[in-house]
Amino acid sequence: MTTALFNAISLGKHSLSNRIVMPPMTRSRASQPGDVANDLMAQYYGQRATAGLIISEGTQVSEMGKGYAWTPGIYCQEQIAGWHKVTDAVHQANGVIFAQLWHVGRVTHPDNIAGQQPISSSAMKAENVKVFIDNGTDEPGFVDVVEPRAMSIDEIQQVIAQFKQAALNAIAAGFDGIELHAANGYLINQFIDSESNQRSDQYGGSLENRLRFLDEVVVAMVDAIGADKVGVRLAPLTTLNGTVDADPEQTYTAAAKLLNEHGIVYLHIAEADWEDAPEMSSGFKQALRDAFSGVLIYAGKYSAERAEDAIENGLADMIAFGRPFVANPDLPNRIRLGQPWNKHNPDTLFGGGAKGFTDYPRFSE
């Protein structure tokens, strides 16, 4: 029986009943054509509404922002209406849900973006990165990403406007707030990290310049919907999708300080969680805690015991459990009662229907 995970916590205007987060996880089941959230997705999220906070799967802010087949968008009225089914289901179960907004930048293929060339901070291909495309079957076809082109200043301003509009659309769709995806090698991360940003203008070079795009997107979102409805996800040590920073502790402590100045409601840190991944030191975590005064969420292969320790030692306020939530719609109850966790089926993570999505049993079943 854990206790710290079940202490109430405030998140903006919301009082959350526990500190367990369902983090964003791509499941690629949006209706086609149109990348529209649907009834099956509403059932999936509604089943998991006992999480203190749900953060939706990554949701592209534009056609160009799409990295993978069958992921949902939030840039047109049909998509907003689809997401309303999801938020209604979560709210009917007394849950709280934020929309994760993303633009993948170079982590895509022309087949996913109507034949266009991807965009990024710089014209650098992400090496050894594959994405999946719709190859006309229920099984995704994996292909190498292609070389992007560097964004112009005008295009940067256009994407900032797209993020702002997507935040407004998310609120219109009934979401309680949004999470800006600035992690895992996607577009904003491509500007932040030193090794993926080779620009020589005001968006590249110095650390201040590399953080400028993040800064301007957050300012636009906060202006649109309020700081109490904006969270940001960062991944300081991950090398996913080919982004690497030469000095992640300096870079991401500076990013946390910057975000703190805007008064955003939470900072969500994705720890590198593969085998032999670099560990975030307690000193690094303390530096982030010192830099950011809002709610601090961590994710990365946490057990209930590790989660409890992280909250009790003050380095985290909430803990996100990713794949355990795939297979355990009642995960908070299992944690509270010390019940075993179902294992997820890796073959049904991406694409398909109800199998491996909404058919995992609760413990009593």
Residues designated catalytic: 186
The strand pair at 130-133 and 177-181 is best described as: unpaired
CA distances from 33 to 79, 142, 353 (A): 11, 20, 16
Distance, first Cα to last Cα, the chain? 21
CA-derived radius of gyration, the chain: 19
CA distance 9 to 7: 7
| Token pair of 143 as six digits | 């292909």
CB 77 within 8 A of CB 137: no
E-only strand ranges, the chain? 9-11, 14-16, 20-22, 53-55, 59-60, 97-102, 119-120, 130-133, 141-144, 149-150, 177-181, 230-234, 266-270, 295-299, 318-320
Q: What three-state secondary structure class fits 56?
A: coil
CA distance 260 to 163: 19
Helix (H) or strand (E) holding 326: helix 323-327
Max CA distance (Å), the chain: 59
CA distance 42 to 193: 35
Based on the number of CB atoms within 10 Å of its own CB, is 194 exposed (0-12), middle (13-18) or buried (19 or more)?
middle
CB 167 within 8 A of CB 177: no
CA distance 58 to 258: 23
For residues 152-184, one letter each, b for 16 or more C-beta atoms within 10 angstroms of the residue's C-beta and e for the rest, the string is eeeebeebbebbbbbbebbbebbbbbbbbbbbb
Give 311's DSSP letter. Answer: H
CA distance 41 to 357: 9
Q: What three-state secondary structure class fits 57?
A: coil
Chain Cα centroid distance, residue 114: 24
